[in-house]
Amino acid sequence: ALYLGVRAQPAVRRATPSQTEGPFYPVVFPDDADFDLLRNGALNYPEGEVAWLEGMVRDLAGRPLAGAQVEIWQCDHAGHYHHPGDGDLADRRFQGFGRCPVAADGSYRFRTMRPVAYSGRTPHIHLKVKLGRRELLTTQLYVADDPGNARDFLWRRLDAAGRAALTVPFVRDGETLRANFPIVVAT
């Protein structure tokens, strides 16, 4: 048998689709902006269903994006954001925004709640990936099998592959839910 010395090339991944930042990205970052959105300083947030949002951040070649930062923001259980455009209605016990460094293996993790719907939108969590001062990705993630998805104008704009990439199940794990959201970014 003749060996030609051809090596398999690493698979190039498809970048996670970007979506609008939305009107509620923080104007002023909260004093407490860590990975735990259910604890705002000394305040605990007892509302909603506790959920761990976790995953890996990789580049198009599959390498971990260590040193990057993931940010998330979402509304509270009553559908309000910590943002002047949403009035002063947000529950101050809910942090509403968090950031987490990407570990050497590419992993990130947030403690939050399962997102809820509000007027005109299906449940979603906004997400941004930064590397230094560069914003590499801004998107939204959606809850698999939520009946509101089909009515949501942003979710409907996605093609089938985009919907598959941005829609994840929130799976029961004892007392909490877990959602695994892998992120692929072009660097």
Query: Are 91 and 47 within 8 A, CB to CB?
Result: yes
Task: Count Cα atoms within 13 angstroms, Cβ side, for 107.
Answer: 7
Least confident of 3-12, 20-29, 46-55, 166-175: 3-12
- Provide the pLDDT for residue 167: 98
pLDDT for res 87: 86
- The stretch 51-55 carries a mean pLDDT of 98
* Average confidence (pLDDT) over 107-120: 97
- Give the residue, 28 or 58, on which the prediction is more confident: 58
Bridge-based pairing of strands 107-113 and 50-59 is antiparallel
Write down the pTM of the prediction. 0.92
pLDDT of residue 7: 52
The arithmetic mean of pLDDT across residues 165-184, rounded, is 96
Mean pLDDT of the chain: 93
Place of tokens 């407490």: 32
Predicted pLDDT at 1:
47
Position 161, amino acid:
A
Residues 66-79, mean pLDDT to the nearest whole number:
97
- Inform me whether the pLDDT recorded for 3 exceeds 50: no
Q: Which one-letter amino acid corresponds to residue 50?
A: V
Q: How far is CA 62 from the centre of its chain?
A: 19
d(CA 138, CA 58): 15
- Decide if 55 contacts 107 (C-beta within 8 A): yes
CB 129 within 8 A of CB 65: yes
DSSP 8-state code for residue 124? E
Q: What is the pLDDT of residue 11?
A: 63
d(CA 109, CA 180): 9
Specify the pLDDT at position 121: 97
Asked whether the predicted pLDDT for residue 17 surpasses 60, the reply is yes
Indicate the DSSP class of residue 86: G
Contact assessment for residue 127 and residue 118, using Cβ atoms and an 8 Å cutoff: no
